[in-house]
Structure formats: structure tokens, C-alpha cells
Structure 1
Amino acid sequence: MQTHLPIGYKMVEGKIHIDQEKADTVKKIYNEYVNGKSMLAIAKRLKENEIPNANHKTNWTHGAVGKILQNTKYMGDDLHPPLVSKELFDQAQKKRKEKTTQLGRTAQLNSMNNHHAFTNRIFCGECGEPYRKYVEHCGKPHEKVRWKCKRYIFNNKVVCKNLFYSEDEIKTIVTSSINKLLQKQNLLDKPYRKEPLKKDMELKAVESQIKELEEQEQFSSPLLAQLSFKRAELMYRVSRVDDYQFNTQKMKDCLKDVSEPTDFNEELIVQIVKKIIIYKDGKIEAEFINGLKFC
């Protein structure tokens, strides 16, 4: 059983600890960004220096850096020791918001910046790969820009046959999901659906078994290791409630001044849309940053 942790943390005997070497990477990312370095430049530096990411690989992207810069766990919570101060975290959020606002005001219709909102947000529901922008007949009068699954062509063969969408169609899809949310904002007032009693009882039972084995000094028992990982999994699931509340409030703040319905709004998409999943049968699922989904 393995619990996926943000870079900078490690699991030791069922508890989350700071992984100092990777924690230093996280701190440097925050400080570089706040001091004016772009996410793309930071990703380039990490890749060139072969710094491992959370998956122990060195293929850094600006999107991966962005996820680190908005992860609230780095301020610390019941499970995660703090890696950055709240002041530094807030400075990073302020800078991200300023950059997004600037992007929304200055991006031209066909500029590369205008595609930022779609990058790593549109995924294939058939194979799980992200959608990519393909330019067909580049520079010719009949040039077409279409978004296709990354695995549409692999090793010179057609692998994934999921649907294609034009730039305007993608904008319509994403905008319609925003407008649907605007019509049903009352969903943001609903409490997070969880099973606190069941989880609490299960967690207490696991902790009781761990305590009993420790009192018997059975530290090398395979059961103790299994129970430690089980405890970590249960505690980690509970921590998602804090993420839900934080991201729901962020969505409310972003929507409070938005008229209904809205036109294509890149800034808003970047702020609140987590991903759009496209299926071969035409079904499209929009997921927002707090986990709310619309089909």
C-alpha cells in the first residue's frame, strides 16, 4: 500500500516526515518565483540540473512547478509539517494571480499564451493521456488548429481514436462548464461528503492494534508495518477535507463578480477548472479544483 505524497515529504513508519533534500527544492521554487523567476524558467533550471521530482524523474514542466506553488499542504496541517511560511505561500498566490490577470488582459486570440488555460487540463477519457494542440497545414490558407489526444499518433501509428476538437469548440466546452457552475452555485454551499464516523472508528481500531503491538515490543512484526500504512492512508484521506474547504472558498471568491452567463474567460479557467475529460462517445466531464464534477 503506498500513499502518494507531495514532493518534500516522505513516509516513515506510517507517519509523514520532511524529506530535507526535496524540501529544499520546494523552498527554492517558492523563493525563486516570488523573486521574479517564471515557472518555465524554474522548470528549465530543475531539468537542466537533473533535480528529481515527486516521481523521482527530472522531466519538469511549468505545470508541475505551478502545482507546487498552489499546494496548501506546504504551509503545514495536521499531517504535513510546514515547508514554507504562510507569508511566502500568500506572496506566491498573489504573484500567480497578477500573472494570470496580466495574461487574460494581453493575450491575443491566436497567441501561444491564449492556449495556456487548456494545457494539462484536457484529458482523454479512453487512455488517460492529455490532449495536445496540433496545427495542420501550417502556414497555408487552409491551416487548421485541432486538439487531439497525445497518443493519437504514437510510433507513427494511430493509437488512440478519441474525438478531435477545434480551438473554438474547446472554448465552448470549457465555458459551458463554467456557466453550468454559475447556475448551480448552491452546490458550493454543501458540506464535504465524507464518512467521519466510519473513518474515525476504523482509525481508532487501527491505532489500538498498533499500540497493542508496540506494547508487546513486536516492532518487527509484518502486521505492525501493514497497520502503520493503513493508519497513514486513513489519516491522509481525512486531510482532503481541508483541501476541499480551501478550494471551494477559492471558487466562491473567483465567481462572486462574474456575470451569468460568461464568455470565454481564461483567467477564470486557470483559477477553478482542474480538468476536462473527453470520451469517445461524446460525453464530456468537467472537474473543478474542489472535486465537483459536471457531465
Structure 2
Amino acid sequence: MKKIRYIPYGYTIRNGRTVIEHTEADVIREIFGAYIAGASLKAIAEELTGRKIPYSERTDTWDKARIARIIDNAKYTGDEEYDSIIDEALYETATSLKTARQRNAFEKDSTAINLLRDYVRCQECGAPMKRRISAKHRIRESWMCTNDECGIMVRIGDTQLLEMINVLMNRIITNTKLLVPRRKKRPEMSPAVLKLNNEISLELEQDNPNEELIIAKTTEMASQLYRESETKMNIAASIAQKRAEMMTPQDEFSESYFTDLISYISLDGRGRVRLHTKTDTEIGDDNNASDQDTQKDHNGH
């Protein structure tokens, strides 16, 4: 086994000749078999890492990229330099599946992004943000604030955006208290309540106050106070908590979970994502994005 791999996993050099390393070849066959049976790249990587299967002398950590490279490597079917570890039929089946899964993943992401078009707002001014595509940049996707006076543009890839949202959604699912709004300071009476209160006071000052009118105005004022109180939001928060407690953390963006709990999402000038729940709470991670590839452009360019 090499410290640094100059030849594909599954092979070694003996007497100046490339030959099969049989322990590693067994791992390769296991990878192809598991992938064809339905395991994901991530699941296979986690399985091998969990069993501490060495990738090289330096590491026994596997990741999706390493598994993908193995599945894509046609050398495992044999050529002039490398002996065959798997047959061509197995290789073609695995690569065809990989292409199909990538296509499905792309279609899933596209569906999710189409959903998000109506949910993304500017954290700075609250205006809706519009998604744009430009082939001139390494990250093709960006979101532009529709408020010309604000003009913030956030360059963030679709996959990264969906992953960030999913991380925050899982945070809610594992801690449903995040759906409970903070208790607000008792507000002053609204103009509507003050008006009703004055009407009741004026009627009480009459020599013969109209009891029916006073009862009706008092009932109306009580209803108005209820509408302006936190009671309605607390009930909504309790219902949302019960719904979230029935959810399980997801490996990828879930449209149904998102639409059940989230009112909208916001992006700020540094590319940070915040979820704004239907219970009037905000969930974000100030460290989930860097300043790189994020810019503020007041001219819309």
C-alpha cells in the first residue's frame, strides 16, 4: 500500500510490474456491488470509514469523491497495463446508474430551486430576491435584490444554498424550541383599542349609560386585544412544534418539511442564510458562509 497513490486503488507495483492488490480488489468489488444494490456514495464511504478500511498508509477515511473515482475508473475492467478486477458488464451497470442518479439529483435540485424562487428575500431591506445565472463566474448562480436602492447581489450555488437550508431545517427538527417566539414587551394600546376604550368611557359618563352598548364595545375591545396579543402566535408555535417533533432529520432538502414550517428565507450581503419560520422566529448560522464570492452591486452588474 502506498502512502501517496500514484496508481489506482486496487493495484500495487511488484518487480517493476503493476499487479492486483487482492485485499483492495475485494474492497473495489464490494463498492461496485453495494452501489448497484442501491447504496449511495456517501453511505459506502461512511461504511468503509467506520470499518477503518485503509485507503492508503496515511488514511482510512473515505469520502464520496473517492468512491466516485473508483466507480468511474474504466481501468478496473482491464487494459494493457492493468489486470481486470471487475468485468465490463458490472462497470457499465454502475456507471449507468451513477449517470441516472446524477440526473435525478439535478432534477430534484431544480424542483427545489423553483420552489425557493418565491421564498427568498433580502435580509438588508426585506425585498424579494431574483435568481440569476451567469456563465462568466465560477459560481454561476446568484440572487439579486429587486430593490434598486439596495442592489445586494449574493453569489451562491444552488447546491450550497439547499445544503445550508437543510442544515438549518435539521437544527429546528432536533430542537423544536426554536419555533417558540420570544416573549415581547407588553405593547401600548393600539389606536383601535384606544378608540374603543374612549367610547366606553364616554358612554359611562352619560347620565343614563347604554348598558348594551357598553357590553358590545367591551366585547369588541376584548376581541381586539386578543387579536393583538401573543396568544394566537403561541398556539401556532405549539402546533408547529408538534409537527416538527414528528419529523426526522434529512440528508437533503425536503420540500414538504420546508413549506410546513418556513415563511421565507433571507440572504444578507455576506451570503448568510436565515430561515424565518411561520411562528415568527429566525434560525441562522452566522458562520455558515464566507465573504468570498459575495458582493454588493448597487448598479445591478
TM class by shorter-chain length?
Answer: 0.3 to 0.5
TM-score (norm 1): 0.44
- The higher radius of gyration belongs to 2
| Bigger RCO of structures 1 and 2 (CA < 8 A, at least 6 apart) | 1
